[in-house]
Amino acid sequence: MKTHNKDKYFSENLISWFKKNKRNLPWRRFVTHKNYPYRVLVSEFMLQQTTVSTVIPYFNNFLKIWPTIKTLSKAKIDDVLVQWQGLGYYSRARNLLKTAEIIMLKHKGNIPRNENELRSLPGIGEYASAAIRSIAFNKKAVAVDGNVKRVIARFYGLTGTLDENKKKIDEIANRICPNKSNRDYTQAIMEIGAVICKPKKINCNVCCISQKCTAYNKKLVHSIPEPKVKVKKRKLNCISFISIFNDRFVLLKKRSSEGILSNQWELPSTGWKAESIKFSRKETPFPNAHWKRTAINFNHSFSHMDIQNTVYFSRNNNKYVARNSFNLEWVNVDKLSDYAVTTMSKKTLKKFNLIPI
């Protein structure tokens, strides 16, 4: 494959920019330590569809509890979910634990450097495999994330959405990937997307490759890429039930092991329904208790649905759970941090002043 002059300008300027600035770049600063491959592995799971600033506290906390692949491999999934709560995309937590177990069992605790072995691990796809190979092991591997797609689309002037240009972007990304300094190059192209060539507030004035950037020269930086076609969100309704015993215990229910937010704890509820829901005491955990509608009524938004959550409250005199006691548990409010609680229920409990944060 013929190397274009523009390609060489792109990779060489990026690497040089990265070397000069890497100490001040956010990702580099938080992940660079000893035990590097493990840290890269964990960070690549956490960073999927999640910004660096969101990840950093979770990452630091996670590494404090499970500093090595070996310690993580012996963890319980419920404990991992507790640490992951609030971060979203919880299958990542399940897959990270499974991956750690497999690496201990089949790879003697060494994180694989081989593409096929990495790809076979749960939760590691095309991007993460390449990111780990290049960043952790300095191998030539082409990691194409959202940043890379945007930077390439602009620099090469690819009009349209990133999805429409997927094939073209992959071709270019492979063509321009340098044969050396791959660890620096992979971080450079992602970092420039994260701090310079951002979706908005683009800093072309300090960009090291703007001179040959097609979007910049054609004044298209704000129209490339075109926004992706958005999916219509489902609107769902939910009534949640706060039951308090002895001013100390709140009734929680563990969600099923299947589907969204699986195995997490939440306030008992009617479930999420498309139709509007009328309060019925028969649906509550205590049909004979005195239920009162609270002022708590808020929207909780997911990427593909909106939940309108209304909250009812009752105080209970005993711990007897009359209905559907399967997976129900009275939890001391001081012990809530031991449970992986859904963000919607945490928001509810916070609005009810049961938990500080």
Partner DNA sequence: AAATCGGGGAG
Partner DNA sequence: CTCCCAGATTT
Question: Whole-number minimum distance, CB 283 to DNA, in Å?
Answer: 22
Binding site for DNA (CB under 7 A): 27-28, 31, 43-44, 47-54, 85-91, 95, 122-129, 131, 135, 145-147, 150, 187, 190-191, 193-194, 198-201, 225, 227-228, 230-231, 259-262, 299-304, 342-344
| Residues 6+ away with beta carbon under 8 Å from 139 | 113, 133, 182
Question: Whole-number minimum distance, CB 177 to DNA, in Å?
Answer: 16
Residue 153 or 213: which CB sits closer to DNA? Answer: 153
CA–CA dist 293, 278 (Å, integer): 12
Query: Nearest CA to 289 among 263, 337, 256, 251?
Result: 251
Tell me, yes or no, if 44 is annotated catalytic.
yes
Question: Whole-number minimum distance, CB 69 to DNA, in Å?
Answer: 17
Question: Whole-number minimum distance, CB 239 to DNA, in Å?
Answer: 18
Amino acid identity for residue 308 in this structure: Q
Residue 6 or 98: which CB sits closer to DNA? Answer: 98
Q: What is the dihedral of CA 306, 302, 152, 15, to 10 degrees?
A: 150
Pairing of strands 305-316, 234-245: parallel
Query: Nearest CA to 244 among 299, 298, 311?
Result: 311
- To which residue do tokens 């060494």 refer? 110
Query: Nearest CA to 151 among 185, 114, 181, 189?
Result: 189
Q: Is 182 exposed, middle or buried (0-12, 13-18, 19+ CB in 10 A)?
A: buried
Question: Whole-number minimum distance, CB 282 to DNA, in Å?
Answer: 27
Query: Nearest CA to 297 among 279, 316, 324, 283?
Result: 279
The token pair that represents 314 in the structure block: 């009752």
Residue 51 or 297: which CB sits closer to DNA? Answer: 51
Q: Which of 12, 44, 115, 117 is catalytic?
A: 44
Residue 296 or 321: which CB sits closer to DNA? Answer: 296
> Catalytic amino acids?
44
